[in-house]
Amino acid sequence: MPVLAIIGAQWGDEGKGKIVDLLAENAHVVARYQGGANAGHEVVVGGESFILHLVPSGILHPGKINIIGNGVVLDPESFEAEVNGLRKRGVKVDGCLFVSDRAHLTLALHKQLDAAREGASEGKKIGSTKRGISPTYMDKAGRVGLRPADLNDADYCKSIIAANLYEKNILFKELYGVKPLSAASVFAEVKRHFAAVKPFLADTTGMIHKFLAQGKNILLEGAQGTLLDIDHGSYPYVTASNATAGGAASGTGLGPTQIGRVIGVCKAYTTRVGEGPFPTEFDAKKSHIVRELGGEYGRTTGRARRCGWLDMVALKHAVMVNGLTELAITKLDVLDTMAEIEICVAYKIGNKTMTRFPASVSELDRAKPVTKKFKGWLSSTKKARSLKQLPTNARTYLKAIEALAGVPVGIVSVGADRTETIFVNKKARDYSF
Ligand code: IMP
């Protein structure tokens, strides 16, 4: 089946945008399957940087079909701004961008609730992006969400809004001390936003299956990463969707047997934004050095990312829960000036040594990394375009990652630009599998 999924193998920000952009060249369709405007996928084309929040990274390749799947939560305000921004920069969106009529809509009330929950002194701080993601998925699961498919039926919309506000206004007023919302104002917002989204709406599941039947290549673009997955991540410090490969099936309407190849994107080290355990995190000084070398600031919120060594316990968990068939290692060049590099191969928790990624957040919090040390290569990798052109110590580091993860490395990225990439072999960019 010519369907390939690209998944974040860490805590998000692995450089998926660049890998999707590269593999989009040979794809016919690029589809986002989960998350929403909390994502910030950066693609650099000819020195020009594009940050995409909702629109699939395939949009930067003329002639591709780009789909926002049913598993995505769509903030129409952010969508409209992004589409207009792309149009202004000369990127064609009309006729090549489609939004699922089953995607759930993120409204002002969701963003207001996200901010109120994060701000509440008694509440649990997750370090959310405050883009209304978790409240939208809460409403989806609570059966009071709105989908574009419902918006032509005003009476149905009004009944859902009334049911939704019945609970939300109690929270806003009684718990968080913020202004309650009127059903009329939410309905007016929905109508206004519907106008912006309507031209793009489609039965995207039907479209994907039609293209599949025609033998077209389909690329599924994940947002966030495995360790932020609601089921398999470092719960509760996670996002509200399934960022893993299972989500790629449910979030597009494909069956799991229809996905042929699953690429895990993984930095040569690790970063995370927001709260939550991070066993291999550097001390403040080293974190600062790597953050500056790697430009580790969130593309959506501008927040400084926390940095640490590559964590093989977490990566092996990602290989397992996604059924990864290969890895794309990004930002290898950021380690160019390190004399010594470490990989975490196990966790020490109390007097136990664990190689399984713990389900318990308090265990993960107490985990101390057991590391294996590697000699740095202390030279630039930025010009390498094949494995042979990499310094020996960099090749040794990549080989160790492959051996420990148990899956091959197909792509290595040594800079932000499209050209700064090593495809290990021809198969790495191919859809015939
Ligand atoms: P939410 O998805 O905005 O609810 O945020 C939940 C957690 O996921 C927070 O720790 C965020 O920092 C993190 N998160 C959400 N989206 C991204 C992303 O695209 N990259 C990295 N972290 C993210």
Structure confidence by residue, pLDDT tens digits, 337-382:
999 999 999 999 999 999 999 999 999 999 999 999 999 999 999 9
Two structure tokens written together for 277: 């355990």
Question: From atom 20 of ligand 1, which residue's Cα is the shortest distance away?
Answer: 12
Strand-by-strand arrangement of the 261-267 sheet: 201-202, 97-100, 65-68, 29-32, 218-221, 3-8, 261-267, 326-330, 409-413, 421-423
Give pLDDT, residue 34: 98
Two structure tokens written together for 243: 């960022």
SS3 of residue 187 by DSSP: helix
Asked if 41 is an active-site residue, the reply is yes
Two structure tokens written together for 200: 């793009």
Locate the ligand 1 atom nearest the alpha carbon of residue 223 and give its number.
Answer: 19
Cβ count within 10 A of residue 121:
5
Give pLDDT, residue 47: 87
**389 Cβ partners below 8 Å, 6+ apart?**
383, 422
Give pLDDT, residue 432: 76
Asked if 13 is an active-site residue, the reply is yes
Q: Which of 33, 72, 224 to mutate to test the pocket of ligand 1 (most atoms within 8 A of CB)?
A: 224
Distance (angstroms) between ligand 1 centre and the Cα of 241 equals: 10
pTM comes to 0.96
Residues in the chain: 433
Calculate the alpha carbon distances from 103 to 92, 150, 185, 411 in Å. 22, 11, 22, 32
State the Rg of the chain over Cα: 21
Locate the ligand 1 atom nearest the alpha carbon of residue 130 and give its number.
Answer: 3
Q: Where are the domains of the chain?
A: 3-101+202-262, 104-196, 267-429
Architecture of domain 3-101+202-262: 3-Layer(aba) Sandwich (3.40)
Q: Which of 118, 125, 128, 227 to mutate to test the pocket of ligand 1 (most atoms within 8 A of CB)?
A: 128
Distance separating alpha carbons of residues 233 and 317, to the nearest angstrom: 9
For ligand 1, whether the C-beta of 224 sits within 6 Å is: yes
Domain 104-196: CATH superfamily, name plus number: Adenylosuccinate Synthetase, subunit A, domain 2 (1.10.300.10)
For ligand 1, whether the C-beta of 273 sits within 6 Å is: yes
Distance (angstroms) between ligand 1 centre and the Cα of 373 equals: 30
Distance (angstroms) between ligand 1 centre and the Cα of 239 equals: 6
Burial 359-391 (b: 16+ CB within 10 A, else e): eeeebbebbebbbeebebbeeebeebeebeebb
DSSP labels for 107-168? -HHHHHHHHHHHH-TTS-------SSHHHHHHHHHTT----GGGTT-HHHHHHHHHHHHHHH
Active-site residue, selected from the candidate residues 21, 28, 41, 61: 41
Distance (angstroms) between ligand 1 centre and the Cα of 53 equals: 12
Locate the ligand 1 atom nearest the alpha carbon of residue 300 and give its number.
Answer: 19
Two structure tokens written together for 301: 């919120």
Distance separating alpha carbons of residues 346 and 312, to the nearest angstrom: 7
For ligand 1, whether the C-beta of 13 sits within 6 Å is: yes
Among 4, 34, 20, smallest CA distance to 225 is for 34
Report residues of the chain scoring pLDDT below 70. Answer: 1
CATH of 267-429, one of 3.30.450.20, 2.30.30.100, 3.90.170.10, 3.40.640.10: 3.90.170.10
Q: Which of 7, 57, 129 to mutate to test the pocket of ligand 1 (most atoms within 8 A of CB)?
A: 129
- Whether cis (ω within 30° of 0) applies to the bond prior to 236 is yes
Half-sphere CA count of 113, side-chain side, radius 13 A: 22
Distance separating alpha carbons of residues 250 and 237, to the nearest angstrom: 22
Distance (angstroms) between ligand 1 centre and the Cα of 403 equals: 30
Two structure tokens written together for 143: 């059966």
Question: From atom 8 of ligand 1, which residue's Cα is the shortest distance away?
Answer: 239
